[in-house]
Structure 1
Amino acid sequence: MTSITDAVASLEQDRSTFTASLATAMAQGAQFGQVAAQTRAAQIEIDSAIARAKAEQIAADAATSRITAAINARTTVLQTVQTAKTGAGQPLSDSVANALKAAVLDANGGDQAKLDDAIDKVKTLDTDIATTADDEASVLTAALDTLATKKADLVTKKAAALDLLAMIEGSAGILATQLSAAKDALTRATTLATTDGDAAHHAAIVSYVDYSRLRDGLAAGLANNGLGDDWATARDAWLSAAAAVAAAEEAVIEKRLDWARAVAEQTARLATRAVKAAEEAAGAF
C-alpha cells in the first residue's frame, strides 16, 4: 500500500525539481518563457495535490479516532450481551427462552404446529415490512451509479474541448513565430550557401533543414482548415455530456423521492406492525 507520507514526499521532491527547472528556464532567456510558465503552473498543481493528500490524512486520522471509540463501545455492549446470554436466569439464557416458548405455547392452546404456523406468519410480515423500500433503494443506487459515470464522462469531454480551445487560441501565435523562423532560416541558409568556405556551406545544410521543417509544418497548418469543425464536435460532445449529467441528476432526484415515499410507507407499517402481526398470528388458529 502506498502511504500518504510516501506520496507527499514524492510530490515534495517533484516540487524541488520543478523549482530548479524554473530557475534554469528563467536563466535561459525569453525563448524559454513558455517552459517557465508551465513549470510555475506545475508547482501550483503540486502544492494543491500536497494539500489535498494531507487533508485526506487528517480526515482518515480523525475517522480512526472515531472508529476506535466505536469499537470500544461495541465491545462493552457485547460483553453485556454475553452476560445476558450465559448467566443463570439471565434474559437471553436458554432456560429463560425455553420457559417463554412453553408459556406462549400453553397460552395458545398447546398446539405446536399451529404456533409454528403463527410464528411463520409474523416472520413473513416482518420480512415484507423490512423489504418495503428495497426496490426503490436499488433503483436509487443504480441512478447514483449512472450519475457518477456521466459526471466522469463530462469531465473528460469538457477537458478535451478546453484543450482544443487552448490549442486553437495559441495556434496563431505559434504559426506567426514559425513563419518568422522559416524566413530567418531561408535568409540564413541562402547567405551561408553563397559564402565561401566549407564551414559556411555545412552550416547552410543545418539552416536548410530548419527551413524545410518549418515550411512543412506551415504547409500542414494550411491544410488543417477544419479546426472550426473540430471545435464544434468537441463543444457538442461537452454539452451532450453536460445534458446527460442533468438528466442523470433529475433521475436521482426522482428516485430519491420514490425511495423516501417507500421509507415513509415502511415507517407507517412499522407503527401498526404489532396489531397487524397479532392478526396474522390469529389466522393460524
Structure 2
Amino acid sequence: MPDWTSAASHRRSRPVTRRDALRYATALAGLGAVSLGPGTPTAAAAAPTLIDFAAKQIPAQDIRAAGHSGVVNYVSTSRPGSSFGAKPITLPYARSLTAAGLVIVSNYQYGKPGGTAPSDFTRGYAGGVVDARTAWQLHTAAGGGQSAPVFFTIDEDINRDTWNRLALPWFRGINSVLGVQRTGIYGGIDTCEWAAADGVIGRSSTPGRWWAWQTKAWSGTKVHPGAVLYQRVVATASNPGPLVGGLEVDVNDVLASDVGQWNLHP
C-alpha cells in the first residue's frame, strides 16, 4: 500500500498548525536555482508559490514582480462558448516564462461542473484515453518536459462511490497513455488520497511526496503530508484572489522541491 495512505491513517485528521507552516517554510528554504530553476525570485525563496489562472496570459515580468516562482498552466483547450487566453499554454509564452526564470507545471481541465462540457472524470476510461492524448500533445507542443507529469482535475467534491465508478476508470485510461509516473491529480484531500491508494498517480523525487495538487476546497484545514502543491487561495466572486498583471489568480504553496516542474523533467 502507498506510503501516503498509511500515513493518512495517523495524520489526516490533524489540522495545519503554526509549527506545520514553519516546518514547510524551513523545508522549502533555499530551493532557489537547484530545485525551482535559475532566476527564482529571491523574495519567494523561503516559501515559494506558483499561481494558476485561465483568462489570459500574464506577462512573466508581472509574475516575477509579484514574488511568485512560476505557474501551473493548462494543457487543455477552452470549453464550448468560452475563450480563455491561457488555455492552452503556448510555446512562445512558455519560453517567456522560462527566460524570466519562472517554472511551469502542467494541468489538464476541459469540462467543469455546470459548464458547457461535463466534468472530465465523468467520461470514464475512454474519456481518460482521449484526455491524456490531448494533454500530452499540448504539453509537448509548448515544450513541456518528456518526463514531467500532467495534473488532471477533479474540480468538485465527490464521494468514494463516484471515485470508484467514474473517476478511477478515467485515471486508468490516462495511465494507459501516459503511464502512472507521468500522471498527477488536482482535487480535495480525499480524491488525492484515493488516487495514491489506488496507484494511479506517480511519485515526486522528493521523498514521501506524490503528484498530488491539493486544493483548499473540500479539504477543511488539513494539508496532506504527501501533497506537492497546496492551493491555498482559490479566487471566487465572494473571495477574490490577489491581482497579478491585472488578473485575479489562485495561489499555490510549494510543498516539495520537485512539484513536476518542466525544468526538472526534461
The structure that is strand-richer by fraction is 2
Please give the range of the TM-score, normalised by the shorter of the 2 chains.
Answer: under 0.3
Bigger radius of gyration among the two: 1
TM-score by length of 1: 0.18
The structure that is helix-richer by fraction is 1
